[in-house]
């Protein structure tokens, strides 16, 4: 039986879902708002965990290609005090493949492979309950009807209102990120400071993390507590004004650490929003959610992993038990809610400790989760 299935969103959740269905020769329509794969910078690096993102890639038949592209050395993690003293310097063993890193753009291209994504097809609304299926309304005025519509359209999902009135709320923590290119040749001292993986510094209610991507690209993430309506009045187009605000905020930190901000190019402003822990909804036949659309969490290294695993699991269940589509989706939702609820609690508590009045909390968290 061939159901008419649409997935809205071509992020990690939507692409993994589509790729696993494709592997099982089940047709799926992928609708993505972006006009093309390179319409926006793809973002930073992701570590894919055993049993989560890596399991999803296995279900998609892509593990070998992932291993070719990924960077196990990127698991390295160094923590400095605000004065530059090295507090922890963790290096993976040569055979350690627990959480290898991959650039988001590489992961996207790997998942895209043969998929025929319909780019530039932003969805405005999903209406379940029609006699012939679920209606999808597009920004270009068109409408299409499907047996199942999967909302994988991220934090500000346009599918979610068909299931739940809940919207994301601000965590009280804002992130501003910047990036540097060719660090090994242009900024060798900063390249040494970061090492092969990540370098983090935790201060009072603020943090700075620098992460190496492939090709000498580095992303720098600052996080700090600020009320949403009193963000440093940031005109992000004025790069120098943002830089000055950040340098003032991190005043007194080691000069080399602050050089990451001095040398950073454009700045991206990300107030961190989340959905309530254990967000669920009353099941509606023909519509479901995956990934951030279902359970937006603080960015603590698990959101993309869960999104991918959910996509892979739902697709596999549909492909292997096609007779009872609604029962399959119901069972999937129960499983997703239980697992995502636990991670939402862990990441909410983690954010409190990583951007904390007591910076030793961040170090303690690292010691709890990092293998010795």
Ligand X SMILES: Cc1cc2nc3c(=O)[nH]c(=O)nc-3n(C[C@H](O)[C@H](O)[C@H](O)COP(=O)(O)OP(=O)(O)OC[C@H]3O[C@@H](n4cnc5c(N)ncnc54)[C@H](O)[C@@H]3O)c2cc1C
Site for ligand X in 54-93 (CB under 6 A): none
Least Cβ distance, residue 90 to ligand X (angstroms): 16
Between CA 288 and CA 163 the distance in angstroms is 8
Give whole-number Cα distances, 314 to 21, 136, 144, 255, 335, in Å. Answer: 9, 20, 22, 49, 10
Query: Residue 33's closest CA among 124, 116, 110?
Result: 124
Among 20, 162, 304, 365, binds ligand X (CB under 6 A): 304
Query: Residue 258's closest CA among 236, 243, 270, 271?
Result: 243
Is there binding between residue 305 and ligand X (CB under 6 A)? yes
Q: Of 2-10, 17-25, 245-253, 312-320, which segment contacts ligand X by CB under 6 A?
A: 2-10
What length is written for the chain?
A: 372
Q: How many CA atoms lie within 13 A of 308 on its CB side?
A: 28
* CB of 26 or CB of 54, closer to ligand X: 54
Least Cβ distance, residue 85 to ligand X (angstroms): 26
Between CA 178 and CA 42 the distance in angstroms is 14
Which 3 state secondary structure label does DSSP give 127? strand
Q: Of 7-15, 58-66, 273-281, 328-336, which segment contacts ligand X by CB under 6 A?
A: 7-15
Which ranges of 36-177 would DSSP assign to H, the alpha helix? 53-59, 63-69, 104-112
Token digits for 351?
């954010």
* CB of 138 or CB of 250, closer to ligand X: 138
Among 6, 107, 218, 307, binds ligand X (CB under 6 A): 307
Which 3 state secondary structure label does DSSP give 305? helix
* CB of 222 or CB of 240, closer to ligand X: 222
Between CA 228 and CA 291 the distance in angstroms is 25
Q: What is the DSSP letter of 234?
A: -
Site for ligand X in 149-168 (CB under 6 A): 152-154, 158
Least Cβ distance, residue 270 to ligand X (angstroms): 6
Which 3 state secondary structure label does DSSP give 220? strand
Is there binding between residue 288 and ligand X (CB under 6 A)? no
* CB of 49 or CB of 187, closer to ligand X: 49
Site for ligand X in 8-47 (CB under 6 A): 8-14, 31-34, 44, 46-47
Q: Binders of ligand X: how many residues, by CB under 6 A? A: 32
Among 162, 261, 302, 340, binds ligand X (CB under 6 A): 302
Least Cβ distance, residue 309 to ligand X (angstroms): 10
Token digits for 51?
């049993």
* CB of 322 or CB of 335, closer to ligand X: 335
Query: Around Cβ 344, how many Cβ atoms within 10 Å?
Result: 24
Between CA 342 and CA 347 the distance in angstroms is 9
x/- contact string, 194-233, with ligand X (CB under 6 A)?
Answer: ---------------------------x------------
Between CA 277 and CA 348 the distance in angstroms is 8
Is there binding between residue 144 and ligand X (CB under 6 A)? no
Residues of this chain that bind ligand X (CB under 6 A): 8-14, 31-34, 44, 46-47, 122-123, 152-154, 158, 221, 270, 291-293, 299, 301-305, 307
């Amino acid at each position: 039986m061939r159901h008419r299935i649409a997935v809205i969103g071509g992020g990690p959740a939507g692409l993994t879902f589509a790729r696993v269905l494709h592997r099982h020769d089940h047709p799926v329509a992928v609708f993505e708002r972006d006009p093309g794969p390179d319409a926006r910078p793809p973002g930073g690096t992701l570590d894919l965990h055993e049993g989560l993102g890596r399991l999803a890639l296995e279900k998609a038949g892509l593990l070998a290609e992932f291993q070719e592209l990924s960077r196990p050395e990127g698991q390295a993690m160094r923590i400095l005090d605000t004065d530059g003293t090295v507090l922890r310097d963790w290096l993976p063993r040569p055979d350690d493949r627990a959480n290898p890193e991959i650039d988001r753009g590489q992961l996207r291209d790997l998942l895209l492979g043969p998929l025929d994504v319909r780019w530039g097809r932003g969805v405005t609304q999903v209406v379940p309950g029609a006699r012939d299926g679920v209606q999808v309304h597009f920004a270009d005025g068109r409408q299409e009807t499907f047996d199942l519509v999967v909302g994988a359209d991220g934090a500000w999902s346009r599918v979610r209102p068909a299931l739940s009135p809940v919207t994301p709320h601000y965590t009280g923590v804002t992130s501003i990120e910047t990036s540097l290119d060719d660090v090994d040749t242009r900024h060798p001292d900063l390249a040494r400071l970061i090492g092969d993986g990540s370098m983090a510094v935790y201060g009072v209610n603020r943090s700075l993390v620098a992460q190496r991507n492939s090709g000498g690209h580095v992303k720098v993430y600052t996080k700090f507590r600020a009320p949403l309506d009193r963000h440093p009045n940031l005109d992000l187009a004025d790069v120098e004004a943002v830089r000055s605000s950040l340098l003032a905020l991190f005043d007194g930190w080691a000069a080399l650490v602050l050089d990451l901000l001095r040398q950073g190019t454009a700045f991206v402003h990300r107030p961190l929003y989340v959905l309530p822990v254990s967000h669920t909804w009353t099941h509606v036949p023909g519509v479901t959610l995956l990934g951030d659309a279902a359970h937006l969490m603080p960015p603590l290294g698990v959101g993309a992993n869960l999104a991918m695993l959910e996509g892979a699991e739902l697709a596999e269940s549909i492909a292997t038990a096609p007779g009872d589509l609604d029962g399959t989706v119901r069972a999937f939702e129960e499983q997703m809610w239980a697992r995502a609820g636990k991670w939402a609690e862990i990441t909410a508590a983690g954010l409190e400790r990583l951007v904390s009045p007591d910076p030793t909390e961040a170090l303690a968290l690292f010691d709890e989760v990092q293998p010795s």
